[in-house]
């Protein structure tokens, strides 16, 4: 710390994230129990001697979890070692039946890497320190209050042993908004890889570390010296389970620390808990140090050679690359390309429609009409996966001038989604067959004409004058 007085110090926040994501595998990481909660399952029923930590039970590593981890490493540009190793992290907590967690220590499956993302108009890239595999503990329910007020706590080991990947970033975020944008991008990448389901309850949990440093300690590139970081007392906020909560918790924590420092108080190095209901962080305990955990190699799991294995594992095209290809290949503008690559499912769906028709027309109908209507109904493209031909038929009806674009969206598409009818069924039921309205017919004809004259891969017209067949009235 410098000798300057509290009032004259200009402060800057430094943030690093530890992101825990559940990997989508059928069975748990060290046993054959399912990872999929059954409807209304009773607590402590999706368990076995291994995930209950009973004496003598031995772990057997799930191949699928390692494959998923290698995919994540490839996507983040990590180096994947020849050999990786599991360790025991020893601590007592009721959600951990063995009193140690099988995790990784000095030979994680992914070392280093980086993830680029956008914040508003800025492009940022944050370093990944490591990403490793571990087992999820059980879950605790604090009955009749929150963690610091409940009078009793219930434990359920159904979740225990679900494969987790912990992704640790470098302390390179400069604010809560950046952290949120990073999490959104990370989620997108993980979903593209097919290793993660963001809709699953509790599938993402974040520990958010924040400290305040003197603003003039920030280098030109925004980096901060290791010695300064080591010196800065940081808090680690736990119990964050959404992107939004991460942003809120970090913003709260930044304000709290700033106020404390400005009043001349020291920041305690501690672990804090995000209280979602109250929107505040509360102190839990002084921060544990690494030596407290007595890490040692997990003798029941020999070192795992991944040298050859990693060569056999391929990853799909990732969102940024796909976005770029949609712009270049289909001539979409940035906004349409972003919308149409927001999930792999949407992108796949779009490409299938684009192949059947004109990419431009497909973009208009998928990005503007379909996604809007799905979103309104809390549905996703997964819900219409099997109806691609019907959707293509809808576009064809408009393209052929059989129905107006307005009717297509406001009547046909909506009834397709609400009543499960096919486009032709809706047209018949609603008597939408070719309209006599001269104005509409003329507009359709003119638009079709316009579209046919356009070369295929031209740049889409900017917003306002879109490349739409006819204006879709919303």
Q: Compute the distance between CA of residue 199 and CA of residue 197 in angstroms, rounded to an integer.
A: 5
Chain residues 44-73 in contact with Zn ion, contact rule CB under 5 A: 48, 50-51
| Cα 114 to Cα 129: distance, rounded to the nearest angstrom | 8
Q: Which is nearer to ligand ADP, 131 or 232 (CB)?
A: 232
Kindly tell me which of 31 and 119 has the beta carbon lying closer to Zn ion. Answer: 31
**Burial class of residue 183 in the structure, from the number of CB atoms within 10 Å of its CB (0-12 exposed, 13-18 middle, 19+ buried):** buried
**Closer to Zn ion by Cβ: residue 21 or 33:** 33
Q: At closest approach, how far in Å is the CB of 47 from Zn ion?
A: 5
Among 11, 18, 270, 414, binds ligand ADP (CB under 6 A): 18
Q: What share of the chain is helix, strand, coil (3-state, %, to 5)?
A: 40, 20, 40
* Minimum distance, C-beta of residue 212 to ligand ADP, in the bound complex (Å): 9
Q: Could you tell me which stretch among 10-18, 81-89, 214-222, 299-307 binds ligand ADP (CB under 6 A)?
A: 10-18
The closest residue (CB) to ligand ADP is 16
169 binds, among Zn ion, ligand ADP, none (CB under 5 to 8 A by kind): ligand ADP
Query: Is the distance from CB of 164 to CB of 21 less than 8 angstroms?
Result: yes
Question: Are the beta carbons of 186 and 167 closer than 8 angstroms?
Answer: yes
The answer to whether 16 contacts ligand ADP (rule: CB under 6 A) is yes
| 210 near ligand ADP, judged by CB under 6 A | yes
Strand ranges, E, within 23-60: none
| Contact pattern from residue 407 through residue 436 relative to ligand ADP, giving x for each residue in contact according to CB under 6 A and a dash for the rest | ------------------------------
Query: Which partner, Zn ion, ligand ADP, none, binds residue 16 by CB below 5 to 8 Å per kind?
Result: ligand ADP
Q: With beta carbons less than 8 A apart as the criterion, state whether 419 and 437 touch.
A: no
Q: How many residues bind Zn ion (CB under 5 A)?
A: 5
Nearer to Zn ion, 137 or 331 (CB): 137
Phi, then psi, of 115 in degrees rounded to 5: -135, 125
DSSP reduced 3-state for 187: helix
Q: Is 170 a binder of ligand ADP (CB under 6 A)?
A: yes
Per CB under 5 A, which region of 32-40, 200-208, 264-272, 354-362 contacts Zn ion?
A: 32-40
Q: List, in sequence order, every beta strand (DSSP E) within 33-121.
A: 83-84, 87-90, 100-103, 110-111, 114-119
Among 15, 69, 110, 119, binds ligand ADP (CB under 6 A): 15
Closest CA to 128 of 106, 111, 107: 111
169 binds ligand ADP (CB under 6 A): yes
Q: How many CB atoms lie within 10 A of CB 189?
A: 21
Q: Residue 31: name its binding partner from ligand ADP, Zn ion, none (Cβ under 5 to 8 Å by kind).
A: Zn ion
Which one among 15, 33, 183, 472 touches Zn ion, defined by CB under 5 A? 33
Lay out the sheet containing 296-297: strands in order across.
Answer: 100-103, 87-90, 296-297
Residue 362 binds which one of ligand ADP, Zn ion, none, with CB within 5 to 8 A depending on kind?
A: none
Residue 5 CB partners (closer than 8 Å, separation 6+):
none
> Looking at beta carbons only, is 50 or 240 nearer to Zn ion?
50
Shortest distance, position 198 Cβ to ligand ADP, whole Å: 21
Please, what is the end-to-end C-alpha distance for the chain in angstroms? 58
Q: How far is CA 31 from CA 84, 181, 278, in A?
A: 19, 35, 38
Out of 31, 190, 337, 405, the residue judged to bind Zn ion by CB under 5 A: 31
Give whichever of 31 and 204 is closer to Zn ion, judged by the CB atom.
31
Tokens of 196: 């993660």
232 touching ligand ADP, by CB under 6 A: yes
Longest pairwise C-alpha distance within the chain? 83
Q: Does 17 bind ligand ADP (CB under 6 A)?
A: yes
Residue 95 Rama label (left phi>0; alpha psi -120 to 50; beta): alpha
Asked whether the CA dihedral 317, 318, 321, 324 is positive or negative, the reply is: positive
The 3-state DSSP class for residue 254 equals: helix
Give the x-and-dash track for 20-49 against ligand ADP (CB under 6 A).
Answer: ------------------------------
Size of the site for ligand ADP (CB under 6 A): 16
Strand intervals (E) in 229-376 = 235-240, 270-275, 280-286, 296-297, 304-305
CB nearer Zn ion, residue 33 or residue 346: 33
Segment interacting with ligand ADP (CB under 6 A) among 15-23, 61-69, 191-199, 309-317: 15-23
x/- mask, ligand ADP, residues 268-307, rule CB under 6 A, reads ----------------------x-----------------
- The Cα–Cα gap between 302 and 60 comes to 10
Q: Which of 84, 162, 211, 341 binds ligand ADP (CB under 6 A)?
A: 211
The only residue of 168, 336, 363, 432 in contact with ligand ADP, by rule CB under 6 A: 168
Residues that bind ligand ADP in the complex, under the rule CB under 6 A: 14-18, 168-171, 209-211, 229, 232, 234, 290
Residues that bind Zn ion in the complex, under the rule CB under 5 A: 31, 33, 48, 50-51
């Amino acid at each position: 710390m410098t000798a300057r007085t509290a009032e004259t110090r200009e402060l800057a926040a430094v943030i690093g994230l530890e992101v825990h994501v559940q990997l989508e595998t059928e069975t748990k990481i060290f046993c054959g129990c399912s990872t999929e909660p059954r409807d209304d399952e009773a607590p402590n029923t999706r368990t076995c001697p291994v995930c209950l930590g009973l004496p003598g039970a031995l772990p057997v590593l799930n191949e699928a979890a390692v494959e998923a981890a290698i995919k994540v490493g490839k996507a983040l540009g990590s180096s994947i070692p020849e050999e990786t190793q599991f360790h025991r992290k020893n601590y007592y907590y009721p959600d951990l039946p063995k009193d140690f967690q099988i995790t990784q220590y000095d030979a994680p499956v992914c070392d280093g890497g980086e993830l680029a993302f956008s914040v508003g108009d800025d492009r940022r890239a944050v370093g990944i320190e490591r990403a490793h595999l571990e087992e999820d503990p059980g879950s605790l329910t604090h009955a009749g209050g929150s963690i610091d007020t409940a009078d009793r706590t219930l434990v359920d080991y159904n979740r225990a042993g679900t494969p987790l990947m912990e992704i640790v970033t470098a302390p390179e975020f400069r604010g809560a908004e950046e952290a949120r944008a990073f999490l959104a991008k990370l989620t997108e990448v993980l979903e593209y890889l097919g290793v993660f389901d963001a809709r699953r309850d509790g599938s993402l949990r974040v520990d958010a570390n924040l400290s305040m440093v003197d603003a003039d300690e920030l280098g030109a590139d925004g980096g901060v010296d290791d010695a300064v970081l080591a010196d800065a007392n940081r808090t680690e906020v736990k119990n964050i389970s959404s992107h939004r909560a991460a942003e809120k918790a970090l913003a709260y924590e930044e304000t709290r620390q700033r106020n404390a420092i400005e009043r001349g108080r020291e920041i305690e190095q501690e672990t804090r808990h995000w209280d979602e209901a109250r929107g505040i962080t509360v102190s839990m305990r002084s921060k544990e140090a690494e030596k407290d955990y007595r890490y040692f190699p997990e003798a029941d799991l020999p070192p795992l050679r991944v040298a050859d294995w990693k060569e056999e594992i391929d990853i799909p095209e990732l969102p940024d690359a796909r976005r770029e290809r949609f712009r270049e290949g289909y001539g979409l503008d940035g906004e349409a390309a972003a919308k149409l690559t927001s999930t792999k499912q949407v992108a796949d769906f779009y490409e299938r429609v684009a192949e059947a028709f004109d990419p431009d027309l497909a973009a208009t109908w998928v990005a503007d009409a379909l996604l809007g209507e799905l979103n309104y109904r809390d549905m996703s493209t997964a819900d219409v996966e099997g109806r691609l031909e019907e959707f293509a038929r809808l576009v064809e009806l408009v393209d052929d001038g059989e129905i107006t674009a307005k009717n297509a969206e406001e009547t046909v598409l909506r009834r397709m989604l609400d009543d499960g009818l096919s486009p032709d069924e809706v047209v018949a039921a609603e008597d939408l067959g070719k309209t006599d309205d001269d104005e509409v017919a003329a507009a359709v004809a003119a638009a079709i004409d316009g579209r046919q004259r356009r070369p295929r891969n031209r740049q889409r017209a900017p917003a306002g004058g879109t490349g739409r067949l006819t204006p879709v009235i919303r």
